[in-house]
Structure 1
């Protein structure tokens, strides 16, 4: 008999939560770091707010060595220092940071939902835990959707890899700039259609970066507004979940 999503979650994660912890064999601060990184912006030094700085660096390096985390390199170019030009106040303590990614998405699910709620499992309140998962599942899935969109776009563009971009001022989900060819994109995994406002925000980000993209790309779980589709610009690509059949067909081929 085919089990439902939530029956599978119970069987794989909830019923074996303490077995998973035992197999990981990590100290409390490492577990705490993984819980924080499963939900926040994933920047390498972001756990410094939760864990003493001198321990945080060692923890991240250990988790990278164990192949639990992998690095997502920043595409931001370090600012060229000019003695004659005063550094903006907000940038004086700013450092370019890589991000970290869970090597295994199932493990990220565990630290996103299960580890912070172990007390509910101990108290046999599994239905309450499943309720928390149902309410927040879309937020969890949005990052996975972003990774899928990167793979999708890389294959469509016939390039090795599509990246994300982040700096002090903005974050861009999809970023590719090589050999005078530039693509910027946004990904929305929401139960509502994308409107033109998202495209305008993306164009403003392009101005902030001082780039002129050859293509803008929008991915949407629920499609696009009539206005955006009716007035679609020539350098704009729009994709929905239906278009992901291309990835399945490509893998089967």
Structure 2
């Protein structure tokens, strides 16, 4: 089944942008559904289809309540990466992005890692909680980069709910802050073919 999903471009391998310095720290690649609905179907509908068909949604709803936050976070992660590609496109014209995604090994995981043609790297963290991102996010990100032995030039932080005053003071050439309003730029490049046609019955 997995082979068919991969061949059908419904499932892809997600690999870290940079390999761990120590080969023994390497971790397995991840598998990602290319469409959020497919991920929802195989994680929350298909395993409980028998009960759902019989009108029993209890088990499915319980499962969904535990995973919906992570489900939304992955969609946000993908949007943030697209936004960063767009945001840095002009600035990186002479030294373009050749890899964008995340980094993980057996010891540490970094939400965002961008690699440019020159080898320069940008690391980042995403924060989706209701609290503002504060300076501790920056400290933890620096610690993770050091632990992974990544030579990072610039850091980025995306926060769904703004930033603390203390963190804003750190903003500069080596630290860029992004928020929800930065995602609105993704809408500008949508065309009619990107829109989904409503085919359900209207009551």
* TM-score normalized with structure 2 length: 0.75
Equivalent residue number for residue 98 of structure 1: 29
Q: Secondary structure at the match of 2:76?
A: helix
Match status 1:222 vs 2:161 = yes
Alpha carbons 2:51, 2:57 under 8 Å: kept: yes
- Provide, for residues 170-222 of structure 1, a one-character-per-residue CA deviation record: whole Å limited to 9, x for no partner: 11111112314210011122232222111111101121233342221111222
Q: What is the alpha-carbon root mean square deviation over aligned residues? A: 2.8
Equivalent residue number for residue 205 of structure 1: 144
- Distance of 1:77 and 1:129 partners within structure 2: 37
Greater strand share, structure number: 2
Change (3 A) 1:172 1:66: same
- Distance of 2:46 and 2:189 partners within structure 1: 36
Runs of 5+ consecutive residues of structure 1 not aligned to the other structure: 1-29, 31-59, 82-90
Match status 1:69 vs 2:11 = yes
Equivalent residue number for residue 173 of structure 1: 111
State the shift of 1:69 in Å: 0.9
Runs (4+) of structure 1 exceeding 6 A deviation are none
Match status 1:152 vs 2:89 = no
Runs of 5+ consecutive residues of structure 2 not aligned to the other structure: 90-96, 192-203
How many residues are matched? 183
Change (3 A) 1:244 1:75: closer
- Larger Rg, first or second structure (1 or 2): 1
